[in-house]
Amino acid sequence: MKKILVSILFCFPLIVSAQTVLTPQQELEQAQKQLEAAKMALEQAKMKAEQAKAAAEKKAKAHAEARAKAAEIQKQIEATKAETARLKQEAERVQREAAHQAEIVAKQRAEAEAAQKVADQKVEQVEVTEQQATSSHNGWIEPKPTITSQPATTAMKAAKEAESNYISASAVPEVNGKIQWSKTYLVPSLSAKELYDKALNFLNVLTQEENQLENSKVVLVNPTEHSILATIHEKLVFSSSLLALDQTKFRYALQVKCSDGKATLTMSRLTYDYKQQDQVTHYVAEEWISNRVALNKKGTRMYPISGKFRRGTINRKNQIFEGFKQALSEGAVSISE
């Protein structure tokens, strides 16, 4: 029995081997299955490769964009730094110029005040001399040409009255802190359109006068509302001789508003550019010809330098307003100023 079992165990592998032998058809099917599996594995590998490639490209693109953005930001930073440095230099330059201009104005004011003090001292000396002379009772005294007890002559009175036109507090009016002259003229016989046409012609003629500079012109008109705006750039002459010419560039605005029977002229925004020894100084009227700047503390005299600007400006203003009145009608009557 034992021998039989041993024989069976010995032959069992041969039996199993005989049973696992595949037919050609089975081998073909098995090969096809293996081929399909290989193809599927290949497709999966390709898909993974494409995904990996796309991810790599996306990552590379993101890195490139980040580098480009960083470079652009750095460029903007450099440009901002350069502009900041330029603006800082410009601000320092403007501050230096402003300080220089302030020094010039302060120096001129100091000189004017010193000159005025000297003049006041001389007046006081004359008054003292007069008192000393009148206090002497015995003997002859030396006559002083500056001392007189006679009434002022008509010419002196006229001169004082003329001077009062410049030192009067109302000679240079201010509206909201800005120097401005305004006057309305009544011409009942003329319509708004007729007054507008006359005013426009007056301003066009004014901007063509001999003393006018470039950019002096009528800049805006409103025929519907009968309004006109002109900017005037001209030469304002203080004195003229064969050896010297004292003048300044003078800028201001003229505005006209017309309605039936009346027209209003306003002069404002006054500035000056004054050249002395190749140095041009810019003045704003409010800081140069106003009562607080051009007049002494008592309001009885004008300072020499700013005073000539104040006098010249008032004279020019009078010329313009009188010319405007004549241009409207000889019978025009002013009702406000």
pLDDT tens profile 14-31: 554 555 678 988 888 888
More confident residue, 178 or 151: 178
Strand partners, 265: 183, 256
pTM: 0.55
- In which band, very low, low, confident or very high, does the pLDDT at 82 lie, cut at 50, 70 and 90? confident
Q: What is the pLDDT of residue 203?
A: 97
- How far apart are the C-alpha atoms of 144 and 140, rounded to whole Å? 13
Q: Which residue in 147, 259, 123, 242 sits closest to 194, CA to CA?
A: 259
* CA–CA dist 42, 329 (Å, integer): 106
User: Does pLDDT of 209 surpass 90?
Assistant: yes
Q: What is the pLDDT of residue 141?
A: 43
Over residues 37-54, the pLDDT tens digits come to 888 888 888 888 889 898
CATH number given to 170-336: 3.30.530.80
Of residues 136 and 307, which shows the higher confidence score?
307
Is 124 or 81 the better-scoring residue by pLDDT? 81
State residue 295 phi and psi, 5-degree precision.
Answer: -105, 155
The Cα 274–Cα 104 span in angstroms is: 12
- Quote the CA–CA distance of 16 and 23 in Å, as a whole number: 15
Q: Say yes or no to pLDDT of 303 above 70.
A: yes
Residue ranges covered by each domain of the chain: 24-120, 170-336
Residue 71 confidence (pLDDT): 87
